[in-house]
Amino acid sequence: MRILIFIVISFMFALGGYAQQQLRPGNPAPDFSVETLNGESLNLSQYRGKVVLMTFWSTRCAICHSEIPSLNRMASRYKDRDVVFLALTMENNTRIEPYLKKNPFHFNIVPNSFGVVLKYADMDATGRINMGFPSYFVIDKRGNIEHRADGWDKIASMEARISRLLAE
């Protein structure tokens, strides 16, 4: 009986630690396979050797909406360089297509990304998702998380990281 109690308690502590696990700079970026809004299949691992900027956004997020023009300007500055821009949303095509007609977003749009959110979001001890919108991840050429941020006005810090990574 004592062994069973010990196993159950050990399992609970291990599960609690796993639920609180957070992705930190230096950790490998979790790979994923998704389909873009254009119907293209992509895996994060196919971009090894390039810098990747991922943003998790929503059409309902006021900060996301206000930052799209700045993100588009950043994407234009890095056009034809080894940088990939991915915009992941949990919303479906029906929801985002009308939004994008009024608010063009020059990233590679990835709808239906709840599974990717689960890989990148922090989880509290009860397993609930804790992710601010917008959330940003800069992935280096080796596939490791270089930088993560969420919220308002993070573009300058992301650009500095991207420029440094391209210079390496």
- pLDDT over threshold 90, residue 110: yes
- pLDDT over threshold 80, residue 18: no
Mean pLDDT of all residues in 28-43: 96
Residue 151 has a pLDDT of 86
- pLDDT over threshold 90, residue 24: no
At residue 89, what are phi and psi to the nearest 5 degrees? -135, 145
- pLDDT over threshold 70, residue 6: no
- Compare 142 and 16 and report the one with higher pLDDT: 142
Residue 2 has a pLDDT of 52
Size of the chain in residues: 168
Residue 16 has a pLDDT of 42
- pLDDT over threshold 90, residue 100: yes
Alpha-carbon dihedral angle through residues 142, 146, 152, 154, given to the nearest 10 degrees = -90
CA distance 147 to 158: 8
Identify the weakest region by mean pLDDT among 11-25, 120-134, 145-159: 11-25
> Which residues, 6+ apart, have CB-to-CB distance to 42 below 8 Å?
33, 34, 35, 36, 108, 110
Mean pLDDT of all residues in 71-99: 96
What would the 3-class secondary structure string for the chain be? CHHHHHHHHHHHHHHHHHHCCCCCCCCECCCCEEECCCCCEEEHHHHCCCEEEEEECCCCCHHHHHHHHHHHHHHHHCCCCCEEEEEECCCCHHHHHHHHHHCCCCCEEECCCHHHHHHHCEECCCCCEECCCCEEEEECCCCEEEEEEECCCCHHHHHHHHHHHHHC
Q: pLDDT band for position 22 (50/70/90)?
A: low
Residue 132 has a pLDDT of 86
